[in-house]
Structure formats: C-alpha cells, structure tokens
Structure 1
Amino acid sequence: MGLIDKVKSYLRKPIEEKLEQAEMLSSGSPVFSPFSGNAYESDVYRAAVDAIARNAGKLKSKHIIYSKKNSERMQGDQHLNRILQVRPNAYMTAYDLIYKLVTHYYLYNNAFAFLQKDDRGNLQAIYPLSPTNMEYLTDPSGTMYCRFLFGNGQHVTFPLSEVFVARRFYNSNDLLGDTNTAIMPTLDLAHTQQEGMEHAIKSNATIRGILKTNQIIASDKLKEEKEAFVNDYLTASNHGGIAAIDQKYDYVPLESTPVTIDDKQMDAVKKKIYEYLGISESIVNSTYTEDEWAAFYESVVEPLALQFSLELTDKLFTEREQAFGNSIIFESNRLQFASNKSKTDMLKELIPLGLLTTNQALEILNLPPVEDGNKRLQSLNFVNQDKADQYQNVGGKTNERNPARGDQGTTNGK
C-alpha cells in the first residue's frame, strides 16, 4: 500500500460533496502551491537551509505534564514520546521528520504533516506531506479541512485538526505564509555569477587567433592546414613559443580577456541570502564560535521549536487535556556547544547551590553517568531562609551552632 493510499484509509468522514472553499478576510486565496522559483537549485540557498535543518533536527520533542499544584514537570505518555523522539512513521526517524519539515518551511514558507490518530484521538504516526497544491475548505458547520493534491494526481482531504501546519512570512494571507519572491532576484544574480565563472574558464578553449591564407584553397584543404598549424605551433610541445611561417599564411592573434567575478561581489550576494534566512556564514560552514551559536539558536532554532511545540500541543490534545498540563515541547542541550571553560565556570556557580545532580553535571561535560549520580551536592555556606536568624547574634543572645562554620556557637558575641 502506497503512502497516499495509507493516509487515505485513515480519513473517517469523506464529505467532499459538502465542502466549499474557505472564505478569507484578506485579498489572498486559501490555496497553497509550491513556489516555482525553485530556490533549492541554488547551492548557496541549499547549503544554508541544510545548515538550519541539520541543527533543528537535533531538537528533542517530548510530551510532558506540568503540574500547577506543585510546579513539577512530569514525563508524559511513553508511546507518544517514542513517536515524537524515535520513529514518527514507518519510513523515517524523528531527525528525518524535523529535517524535512524545516526544509519545506524555508523553501515554501509552509510545512504540512498528517497526524494519524486512532478512534480515540491518540497519535499513531506523523507523515510529512509534499503536495503540489493545498486548499482550505469548510463544511456547513464551519469545520475546516485541508484538501491536498499530490504529484500522482490524487486528492486527499483531512480535517485541519489532523494536519500540522507551520508558516513563515505569515503576513498577507490569513491561512498561508507568503512566497520567496523577494529573494529571487538575488538567487538569479548568484546563478549569473556561477555562469560567468564557467564562461571565464571555458574562454581559454575558444579561438585565440585567425590563420589567414594568401590564396584560395578548398575547404577540406583549409581545415587540414589549420590542424597542421595548431599541432605544430599551438601545443605544449612548442617549447620556444615561436611560430615560423612563410608568405602563404598570415596569423593574427586575438586578445582574450575573460571577465572574472570579484570575490567581494560574490560575498555580497551570499550575505544577502544568509541574511534572508537569518543565519551567518559561520553557521553554514561550521566555524561558529560559542557566541555565534547562541545567537543562531535563539534567533532561528528556538523560534522553530516554539512554533512546532505550540502547533503539536494544540493538534494532539483537547482543551481539557491542555488545561491539565499536557503539552509538547522541543528542547535541546544548548550547553553541549559551549566551551569547556564556560561549562566549568557554570558548574562552579550552580553545584554549590544544589541546582545540579552529579549526573547532570557529567552530562554537561559530555561524560557518561555514574551509579548513585542522581544525588545533589550543596555547599554548607548557604542556609535556609527560615533558619537564617538562628545563626545570628540578636540582642546579645546566644547564637545557635553554625554548621556552615563548623563551630559550636558563641555566647554574648565572645
């Protein structure tokens, strides 16, 4: 069974005849079509999108239950977490899913996925969708649907509640992100630069001179004379670089000065593409510093994590389930990209406060956990606020023993 047939079999209410195109307040149309500019053919644009998708693919999604009563965060359903973290469907891993969705997000400014659920509304699988066309529809009750057209000509309609939707440049259309037309002139310029370099390289293989005969000869004989002249004088074997000819020939050399592209011009075009995607060249070529990575994470990866988290939370849980603290979050161990000095300085500050267990500290240092490593260590130089007055001499009274100093207490300040 193909993927289209598989997802079609999960559609529970085939009510195509009752659906009509959704009405919009804006002047746009609720119809999505992948932009035909094909920005992915640009090596600069593709490398930049790949860098974002590769790093976003390291995000870890999980189902959590947040208890408002005691402000604790508990692990959620293990089956749901396996789908989110390991195998969202039979065809790909969790990394593949995020990579594909993020790639679609930056190529088309719209990313879609089908959320396959059972009869009880529990998630069974997630399938990223690559439609050639998508249209928002509504039924008489106002429920919204998404009708997808795929490359093989088949239509599939899903309730919007079972479709993951992520939008970029969400401005002029009420339901869809805008196209990438703004960057196409720059991509065309990058393509022109690439062609210019190719022509400059090939120019050395074109005509570099004219061999003129001073008599009329047959065309086949003329060709033979030309080939003989080339073999005798225009090959690497002519070490002297001098041609000796009689009055039968006139050789006129042609000056060929190929136009080369300045490095600054190429860098300027690259910079415009990178700025359009919100990243720097150091992220693309993996030469980033700790601060550059932090800026990239906060400005690019973290907004993606937030957007994906909110969308999945809304589509996988009812309002009642969300009220009881159920949500999907995307998180990443950002500290693994910090320098060893930054990690060490942070541990020196946090461990004395009892904020980290031994295993949590080892994880920050990219070291394996140890047995009994879930205990917290804390310095005795800190005291509970409720007991702070017991360790001070108030009104000349006797101090309590101060375990932070290891003494037995004093009397009247002596």
Structure 2
Amino acid sequence: MKFKNPFKRKVTDQTAGAGYRFFLGSSSSGKRVNERSAMQMTAVYSCVRILSEAVASLPLHIYEQEDGQSKKATDHPLFFLLHDEPNPEMTSFVFRETLMTHLLLWGNAYAQIIRNGKGEVVALYPLMPDRMKVDRDENGQLYYEYQVSTADPKVNPAGTVRLAPEDVLHVPGLGFDGLVGYSPIATAKNSIGMAIACEEYGAKFFAHGAAPSGVLEHPGVLKDPSKLRDSWQATFGGSANSGKVAVLEEGVKYTPISIDPQQAQFLETRKFQINEIARIFRVPPHMVGDLEKSSFSNIEQQSLEFVKYTLDPWVSRWEQAMTKILLTPEEKKKYTIKFNVDGLLRGDYQSRMNGYAIARQNGWMSANDIRRLEEMDPIPEEAGGDLYLVNGNMLPLQQAGSFYSGKEEDDEVLEMDQEQDESGNGDSNGNQDSVPERHNRRRNLV
C-alpha cells in the first residue's frame, strides 16, 4: 500500500507498545508476577524507592535564556507548579515520586494536564498507568483512553475518558515504538518470580520446619495417622519450637529427610537474586544493602556512577517530556526545564576543597561562587567576594618570552656603559654615574 506522505498516513490499529501486558502472568517459577506483587520483594521495593526519591528530591526549575545567560524564570506560571505544587492536593516531591514509581513499575508515567481558557497549564494530576490505553483513531492520530474508577473525584458515566495528547504528560520508559514503554517488572518476571519463590520457601521453612523434621515410622498399624502427625506438628512445628527434644514411644522412629538450606545454596540463591533485581534497575548493590564488594575506596565512585549512568537517563526522559508538552513552540525557544544534579555529584570534603582551590587560583571562580555551591552566605561585594583572581606569575601566551627578551637588552645596555667607563666619557656636565645607576636608569627608559 502506498502513501503520498509517510508522515500523514492513516493508521487504524493500536500502537506497537500498547500490548505489552502479554508479558505479565505466571513466571517460570510458578509465581504470578505483577507490578504490585513485585513490590513485596524487598529488593524491588528498595530499587523503586531509591530511584523515585532521588528524582523527587532533585531541584526542578524552569530557566530563561537571555543574552547568552541562563536564569531562573520565577515569574513563569510553570515555575511554581514544577517546583512547589503541581496541584492543590500534593507537593512537587510527592507528585514526582508517584510518577517515577509508575515509570519504574509499569514503564510509563501519565499525568493529566489541566489548562485554563488561555491554554496555560494550571495543574497536573497523576493517572494510573494500568488504566491507561494509548491508541490511534481512524485518522491515525494518537489519543489516550483512561478507565475511570469509582475512587476518582468525578466518575464518567461511560467509564472511560478520552484525552488528547496535549492534555497528557506522558513519560515513556524503554519500549519498541518510542511511544509506550515496557514494564521492567513484566519483562523480568522470571527473575523476580524466582526471588519471590526463594523468599516464600524460606518463610515456609521456618513456619513448618519441625526440628528435627522428616518421617515418623510406627511398627504397627495406626488407625488415625493424621492424629499423630498433627500432634507432632503442634509440639515441634514452627520456628518457636525449634530445638525441642522429642520423646518417642511405642517403637516410633523418626527419620530426617529434609535438606539443609545452606547445602541447597539457598542463601546464595537469595543473594544472587537481589543482585539480579538491582541489575534490572541499574542500581549499585551497595545501595540496596549488599556491601560485599564495596569499600571506602570505591563506594564514592559507585555513587557517582549511579548519578551518571542510572539517574541521568531518567532525568533526561523527564526533562524532554515536560519540555515537549508543557511549553509552547515559542516558549521552547526561550525557556528550558532542567533538574539540578550538581548536589549529587559533589565529592567528599577534601576533594571539593582541592577543586575549589584550583578554580580560585585559575580565576574562573570567585569566593562567592564557591560559597554558593557550599550553601554559605556570600561575602559582601566591597570586601572582594566577587573578585576573580589569578596567579601573579602567569602571563598571556604571546608574552611568554618577554622576560628573556628584556634580559638580553639589559646585557647590551650594561656592556655599553662599561665601554663608556673605560673611555672616561661622562655626561655633558662631566659627571660619572656608577654602572648600576646608569644601568637602572637606562632599563627604566627601555
């Protein structure tokens, strides 16, 4: 089928990424995995909390570009919404934390944009991603269809609300079509399902693991075997009864058959699954409590790598999604929306001070520039707080040989004065200056 304009072709089916939910369901371990059950895993909960709180705690500002300089656009209506309160019901921290949690679990974050009569953004409200469907109409245009719940403030009689793309702030995660992201929980359900199975096995081991545990053998025939089993379980079952001494009567023999968890590498498996989940979210193991391979010499570098390779991509997704939908085409030429990650990139105290010293001595930071980064009060301008200083023995490149050039001229002057002394000629009055005096006088003239 041919199209005159490939960018205006008619598409009637749904987006390629809209059917990602087929990934969800039972995992190979037999455990059903979804976004909510995955949060019961401590490793998943920890990774989601670390990333969502990190993004929520970063300063978020809208900047205005003017005369080649960038300054905070505090008068822009979006500044208050993004930095303080996106809606009357929640703070900016809670709003971003909620959306980032959605993004990490479902692979997409949605927020409804409320505009006034002028088209200006006046509020942003989070939307649940599991109730959102991204599709195309008969003309191939994207639309968002949201399933309304009875818990929502206003219930649509039809049960669904269709929203235009300009009315939805959509931050997609990794996907196949660039429009809808895939759920990390769904794509990694087998790893998470195995971790859930290991945790459940450990819990059941302590809940039902009689110590000792095995087979009860009776030399005769029991009329009610369940009565003996229940009596044994009530007396020796559970972690609270672990270590009790068993007294056997009537020739009853106990044969342990259970496998020690350590022999079955149970603990090693659980530890590996924690690292596996941390790998899914690209979180350093030391941030989820695994300090086995961390030390004082490398843990700071791991934290910096977390900002650079883990947090920065998420921050870029947020920034570009907000810039795309919240700013008009004219505003995009003048304004930018940026997170400030400088605070997370700060090294230890000694490293910062060494860096500040180099910047101060080379003249590209003033005392007040340094104090602002350290959140200290500025030095008054009359006291020199805004002065930019350089080392006194540094010269421009074109004057690099001036010292040696001047020395050669001085040597020539000294040689001429010595010849004058030998000939006995002085000045017009017959006065004879000493060689150093004539040398200094001549040097000043030169």
- TM bracket (short chain): 0.7 to 0.9
Work out the CA distance in 1 between the residues paired with 2:93 and 2:133: 28
Q: How far did 1:269 drift?
A: 1.6
Q: Does the residue aligned with 2:307 lie in a helix, a strand or coil?
A: helix
The one-letter code of the counterpart of 1:318 is T
Deviation per residue, 1:273-296 (Å, 9 max, x gap): 111111221122397722111111
**Higher share of residues assigned helix:** 2
The one-letter code of the counterpart of 1:184 is K
CA contact (8 A) 2:134 2:180 kept: no
Q: Is the counterpart of residue 170 in structure 1 residue 175 in structure 2?
A: yes
Q: Does the residue aligned with 2:377 lie in a helix, a strand or coil?
A: coil
Q: Is the counterpart of residue 369 in structure 1 residue 377 in structure 2?
A: yes
Pairing of 1:298-317 with structure 2 (within 5 A): 298-317=308-327
Deviation per residue, 1:165-214 (Å, 9 max, x gap): 1122222x352112433311111111111122123222126866647486
Pairing of 1:90-101 with structure 2 (within 5 A): 90-101=88-99
Q: How far did 1:137 drift?
A: 5.0
CA contact (8 A) 1:279 1:300 kept: yes
Q: How far did 1:384 drift?
A: 8.2
The one-letter code of the counterpart of 2:390 is S
Q: How far did 1:271 drift?
A: 1.8
The one-letter code of the counterpart of 2:179 is L
Q: How far did 1:140 drift?
A: 7.6
Which of residues 80, 97, 109 in structure 2 aligns to 1:82? 80
Q: Is the counterpart of residue 192 in structure 1 residue 197 in structure 2?
A: yes
CA contact (8 A) 1:31 1:136 kept: no
Work out the CA distance in 2 between the residues paired with 1:215 and 1:129: 64
Work out the CA distance in 2 between the residues paired with 1:209 and 1:77: 75
RMSD (Å), alpha carbons: 4.1
Q: How far did 1:364 drift?
A: 3.9
Q: Does the residue aligned with 2:364 lie in a helix, a strand or coil?
A: coil
Aligned to 1:355: 364
Pairing of 1:154-233 with structure 2 (within 5 A): 154-171=159-176, 173-180=177-184, 181-201=186-206, 202-204=208-210, 210=216, 212=218
Work out the CA distance in 2 between the residues paired with 1:98 and 1:353: 40
Q: 1:409 to 1:125 in 2, by over 3 A?
A: farther
The one-letter code of the counterpart of 2:351 is S
Q: 1:161 to 1:357 in 2, by over 3 A?
A: farther
Work out the CA distance in 2 between the residues paired with 1:262 and 1:384: 68
The one-letter code of the counterpart of 1:301 is L
Work out the CA distance in 2 between the residues paired with 1:108 and 1:334: 29
Question: How many percent of aligned residue pairs carry the same amino acid?
Answer: 14
Please say which of residues 120-129 and 378-387 is displaced more in the overlay. 378-387
Deviation per residue, 1:25-55 (Å, 9 max, x gap): 9972646769562232322212111111121
Q: 1:388 to 1:141 in 2, by over 3 A?
A: farther
CA contact (8 A) 1:130 1:150 kept: no
Gaps of 5+ in 2: 1-9, 26-33, 411-439
Q: Does the residue aligned with 1:66 lie in a helix, a strand or coil?
A: strand
CA contact (8 A) 1:397 1:412 kept: no
Which of residues 272, 277, 290 in structure 1 aligns to 2:276? 272
CA contact (8 A) 1:105 1:168 kept: yes
Q: 1:128 to 1:280 in 2, by over 3 A?
A: same
The one-letter code of the counterpart of 2:443 is T
Q: Does the residue aligned with 1:254 lie in a helix, a strand or coil?
A: strand
Q: 1:394 to 1:146 in 2, by over 3 A?
A: farther
TM-score by length of 2: 0.69
The one-letter code of the counterpart of 1:316 is L
Work out the CA distance in 2 between the residues paired with 1:338 and 1:145: 45
Q: Is the counterpart of residue 54 in structure 1 residue 53 in structure 2?
A: yes
Q: How far did 1:413 drift?
A: 12
Q: Does the residue aligned with 1:355 lie in a helix, a strand or coil?
A: coil
Aligned to 2:443: 411
Q: How far did 1:259 drift?
A: 3.9
Q: Does the residue aligned with 2:252 lie in a helix, a strand or coil?
A: strand
The one-letter code of the counterpart of 2:71 is M
Aligned to 1:255: 256
Q: Does the residue aligned with 2:318 lie in a helix, a strand or coil?
A: helix
Q: Does the residue aligned with 1:41 lie in a helix, a strand or coil?
A: coil
The one-letter code of the counterpart of 1:253 is Y
Work out the CA distance in 2 between the residues paired with 1:50 and 1:130: 18
